[in-house]
């Protein structure tokens, strides 16, 4: 049996890990929140919402309690914490260890640089979940799950890992994981933008006049993977051809259809700003698109303005208001 270490037992890591434990997998949970670690050890990890309730009896530790060797690490920290987390993990990795990114963003680039591409796997995760309180995760809705090598090969280790990782939702093996990750990166332009208003995702994108604003934002972001030669992939609510053909209303309807009936119908960005009062992942996600675009000489004014507005909300200098969208119609 493989030994799994979930580093970051929040919404995504916690929900997948609880179901893996229920399926009989060997899983160690690692989280920097002492309250979360203590509650999990004493009362178990509860995941409720979509699919009913699961209470998994788990073993959890803080990062300082890690011991070598780690076999399969499922990295599920916020994108801005990726480098620090991998540096914390690296002394406990062997030559046969593998780190799988379950994160938003393009963290595979960071992980590969630090520990080598041969020990890095990419994963595309699109289910909805929220950390509610210590020991409690809310599963908000179904979503796709893809796993692949960053170099595009179809390896045996990816096929082998797909079985235990399918405990929550089925894993699809792909030879274009970076295409899926860049598609999610592009789609994130819309999801981050919806947090500019205190409204559910589907209500924002269905508001008259919003489709061309969101479409322009996505097309701006799509310039970057196009310049890099990355082939974008369709998933759940995202179809790149709709944006290429300026079918923005149809694209927004797909997004609305994905989230309209979810238990979780607002983004994690909204939750960071409105509930948890903490920094969002905007630098690690939208910021990464901007940084890569700038290296290629691509102008991305809408994405830069979106970043600025999110930062203003983080700093308490801007409130959630539908009028914010006027500033994206550059």
Regarding whether 248 and 318 lie in a shared domain, the answer is yes
Residues 167 and 185 in one domain: no
Among 134, 155, 175, give the residue marking a domain's end: 175
Per-residue model confidence as pLDDT tens for the chain (330 residues): 899 999 999 999 999 999 999 999 999 999 999 999 999 999 999 999 998 999 999 999 999 999 999 999 999 999 989 999 999 999 999 999 999 999 999 999 999 999 999 999 999 999 999 999 999 999 999 999 999 999 999 999 999 999 999 999 999 999 999 999 999 999 999 999 999 999 999 999 999 999 999 999 999 999 999 999 999 999 999 999 999 999 999 999 999 999 998 888 899 999 999 999 999 999 999 999 999 999 999 999 999 999 999 999 999 999 999 999 999 875
In the sheet where 128-133 sits, what is the strand order?
54-56, 45-49, 136-141, 128-133
Instruction: Supply the pTM of this predicted model.
Output: 0.93
Residues 20 and 143 in one domain: yes
pLDDT at residue 237 in the model? 94
Contacts of residue 116, defined as CB under 8 A and 6 or more positions apart, other chains included, come to none
Q: Do residues 27 and 166 share a domain? A: yes
Distance between CA atoms of residues 264 and 241, nearest Å: 27
Instruction: Round to whole Å and give the CA distance between 246 and 222.
Output: 13
Clarify whether residues 119 and 226 are in a common domain.
no
Residue whose tokens read 């090969």: 153
């Amino acid at each position: 049996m493989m030994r799994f270490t979930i580093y970051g037992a929040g919404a995504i890591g916690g929900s997948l890990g609880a179901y893996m434990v229920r399926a009989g997998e060997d899983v160690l949970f690692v989280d920097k929140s002492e309250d979360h670690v203590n509650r999990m050890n004493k009362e178990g990890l509860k995941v409720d919402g979509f699919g009913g309730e699961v209470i998994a009896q788990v073993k959890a530790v803080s990062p300082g309690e890690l011991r070598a060797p780690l076999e399969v690490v499922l990295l599920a920290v916020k994108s801005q914490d990726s480098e620090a987390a991998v540096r914390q993990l690296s002394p406990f990795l062997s030559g046969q260890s593998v780190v799988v990114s379950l994160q938003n963003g393009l963290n595979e680039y960071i992980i590969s640089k630090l520990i080598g591409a041969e020990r890095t796997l990419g994963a595309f995760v699109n289910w909805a979940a929220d950390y509610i309180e210590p020991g409690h995760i809310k599963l908000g809705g179904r979503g796709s799950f893809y796993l692949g090598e960053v170099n595009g090969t179809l390896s045996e280790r990816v096929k082998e890992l797909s079985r235990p990782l399918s405990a929550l939702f089925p894993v699809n093996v792909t030879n274009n994981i970076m295409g899926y990750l860049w598609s999610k990166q592009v789609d994130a332009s819309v999801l981050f933008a919806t947090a500019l208003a205190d409204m559910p995702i589907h209500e924002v994108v269905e508001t008259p006049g919003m489709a061309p604003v969101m479409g322009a934002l996505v097309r701006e972001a799509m310039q970057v993977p196009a310049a890099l030669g990355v082939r974008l992939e369709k998933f759940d609510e995202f179809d790149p051809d709709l944006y290429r053909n300026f079918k923005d209303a149809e694209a927004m309807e797909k997004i609305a259809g994905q989230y309209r009936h979810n238990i979780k119908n607002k983004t994690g960005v909204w939750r960071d700003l409105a509930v948890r009062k903490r920094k969002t992942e905007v630098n690690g996600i939208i910021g990464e698109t901007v940084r890569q675009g700038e290296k290629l000489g691509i102008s991305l004014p809408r994405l830069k303005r979106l970043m600025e507005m999110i930062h203003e909300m983080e700093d308490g200098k801007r409130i959630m208001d539908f009028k914010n969208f006027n500033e994206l119609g550059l």
